[in-house]
Structure 1
Amino acid sequence: MNYKLLFAAAAASVLLLGGSTLAQEKKQLAFVVNASSDFWKLAEAGVNKAQAELGDGYELQFRYPAQGTAALQNALMDDLVAAGTDAIMISSADPKNSIDAFNKVAAQVPLFTTDSDAPQSKRIAYLGSSNTAAGVQAGEEMVKAMAGKEGKCMGFVGFLGADNAVERITGFKQAIEGKGIELVDVRGDDVDFTKARTNVDDVLVANPEINCMVGFYSYNSPKIYEALQAANKLGQITVVAFDEDPVTLGAVKEGNFVSTVVQQPFEWGYQGMKLMAAYLGGDKSMVPADGLIIVPTAVINKENVDAFSADLKAKIGG
């Protein structure tokens, strides 16, 4: 019997098994978003920064669902759990109707939310903006811009029932109450970009009394810009935006939009991954008693848009 060959084969087996064990010990963390939108590039950059700092002991995934629906998101989470993912952070497309799905995942791995919370679920914590406070900021910007003039505003958003949308709208209404400004209606589009544009076009034709608009989701304001430009009404309708789409920032710089209320999705990705890594390591000190980790929002206007844009480019590598 060739004992040298047997020994070599046994040693190779140990190496292979050892390598497999090491691979399995690598912690798998996933960040799941609600739609394929440029807004999420900053969060992805934050996840990449966290990966560089956490090192080879972690594998971080940034996942887009095939479409922005709760069913596909929840199926994606099930797939991640089945594949051995150790913790998940999600921006839910429909948190109110995803409680059972969230609880199913939360029973197997630590689950965190971002952007749009699901406080009735068994998620561990929410890390993101206070959407109500962001809505108040947007409303205050509209009040300043209208400068005492009566306003008939139309809002545009993706998911009308999502918590982040409801809270932004609520905050906006709080800020404009008693100021001679009315939010006449909010049109939803279910993250259908074509419908988002059509919604604005329809309002311009059917509602000539509208003299102010609010884009509550990141892509809504660029669609407002496109529609106003096509109708030769840029500058004639007062617009307050949300988030930092390049078209939105350009419109703010031009003076065609008053301002935009921005979140910090880079920090959601970065802090979210560090939070989950710490939690898996047994450190739960970063989770507050109320389960809310609020990352502040900011107002970007003509005075600070250049500095903000330069910072964005630095974070996403240009």
Structure 2
Amino acid sequence: MKRTSIIYIFLSASFILALGCAVYFYNQAQKYDEKLVTATSNGSSPTYHFALIGEEMDHVYWRSVGEGAKEKEAEYNVFIEYEGPKRSNPEEQLKLLDMAIKSKVDGIIVQALNDKFTPLINQAVDQGIPVMTVDTDAPESKRSAYIGTDNYEAGRLAGNTLVKETEGKATVGIITGRFANAHHQLRIEGFKEILEKTEGIEIVAMEESNIDRVGAEEQAYKMLREHPNITAFYGTSTLDGVGITAAAKKLNRLDDLYVITFDRSDENVQLLQSGAINALVEQQPYQMGNRSVEIMMDIIKGKPVEEMHHTDATIIRKSDLLYENAQEGETS
């Protein structure tokens, strides 16, 4: 009797899980249909339907990627179905990728955060759907091309900047978005390669923020309490710098810390202007989205395309902002 009850519970749970998955995919299919109807409501049906799957919809970086891609819709008469989790969630991205394949879109542009994306990318290609990666690559997959920052080189750029601006003497803490995310791993590896060559610099702690400003603040606060000798921080995602400076402010350490982090968000620019952040690694998310559509069109038309398309990564300091403002004043 007891065994029968266990089997019954197991079967009931399996049924509920299957039902939940069915409802999820049905709702996603309805969303695809509704958006496609909206896109064709002006009387002209787009020639191609592309799915763009990013990391986080509610994020300035990914909004910029989406805007860059959508800007190309009219030029190429395509419909860009831009989707992503509200908050960073690789499992939800995988579900969206699976949904795009089931919807038989004409092309997929996806951020491939980990190895789990490779089988689904291969499945799409095997079904005749071309795939390219954006921001984070899946080099072992059958994807046609990658566009985004060379994250290893961006890490080296950050490392060289820190070494130069601290005159080769620093005790460093690292806050990374996620240990498991391939692009953050590369940013750390490139950074470490440079610092390991400098005798006067030591990395004493490294934690992950889970791509969350509160997480970044908590980890930076913990590091500064456990390692009060830290003199510099490196953040590998947009919100890491915000969290690092918030923790430093609470501990009255803003004036004696060197901070370098990624991305030109409004908050990061304000912190750069105030001196709380010393340098930003600027990426080109709008260009990534924009060019990804151009490359996908070339792939669909059978034109030869390069496998790697690296967008620029540059360092921005407060002096660069002052120069930009001066230039804008001259032209206004």
* TM-score, normalisation: structure 2: 0.79
Amino acid at match of 1:253: Q
Q: Are residues 1:182 and 2:202 paired?
A: yes
In the TM superposition, structure 1's runs of 4+ consecutive aligned residues that sit over 3 Å from their partners are 22-25, 306-311
- CA drift at 1:60: 1.2
Question: 5+ residue gaps in structure 2?
Answer: 1-39, 328-332
Q: Are residues 1:111 and 2:131 paired?
A: yes
2:172–2:234 Cα contact (<8 Å) kept: yes
Task: Check 1:309–1:89 CA distance in 2 against 1; reply closer, same or farther (3 A cut).
Answer: farther
1:222–1:245 Cα contact (<8 Å) kept: no
1:156–1:220 Cα contact (<8 Å) kept: yes
Query: 308, 315, 320: which one pairs with 1:299?
Result: 315
**Structure 2 counterpart of 1:159:** 178
Q: Are residues 1:33 and 2:54 paired?
A: yes
Task: Check 1:305–1:30 CA distance in 2 against 1; reply closer, same or farther (3 A cut).
Answer: farther
Q: Secondary structure at the match of 1:197?
A: helix
- CA drift at 1:49: 1.9
Q: Where does 1:90-239 land on structure 2 (aligned, <5 Å)? A: 90-93=110-113, 95-108=114-127, 109-149=129-169, 151-179=170-198, 180-239=200-259
How many residues end up aligned between the 2 structures? Answer: 284
Distance in 2, matches of 1:199 and 1:258, equals: 20
Distance in 1, matches of 2:203 and 2:325, equals: 30
Distance in 1, matches of 2:301 and 2:154, equals: 33
| Residue-by-residue CA offset, 1:215-255 (whole Å, 9 max, x unaligned) | 10111111112222232221211111111122211222222
Query: 239, 245, 248: which one pairs with 2:268?
Result: 248
**Structure 1 counterpart of 2:287:** 267
Task: Check 1:25–1:178 CA distance in 2 against 1; reply closer, same or farther (3 A cut).
Answer: closer
1:141–1:258 Cα contact (<8 Å) kept: no
1:154–1:212 Cα contact (<8 Å) kept: yes
* TM-score, normalisation: structure 1: 0.82
Question: 5+ residue gaps in structure 1?
Answer: 1-18, 312-318
| Residue-by-residue CA offset, 1:179-202 (whole Å, 9 max, x unaligned) | 211222321133344322211121
Distance in 1, matches of 2:296 and 2:154, equals: 25
Q: Are residues 1:53 and 2:82 paired?
A: no
Query: 102, 109, 114: which one pairs with 1:82?
Result: 102
2:55–2:62 Cα contact (<8 Å) kept: no
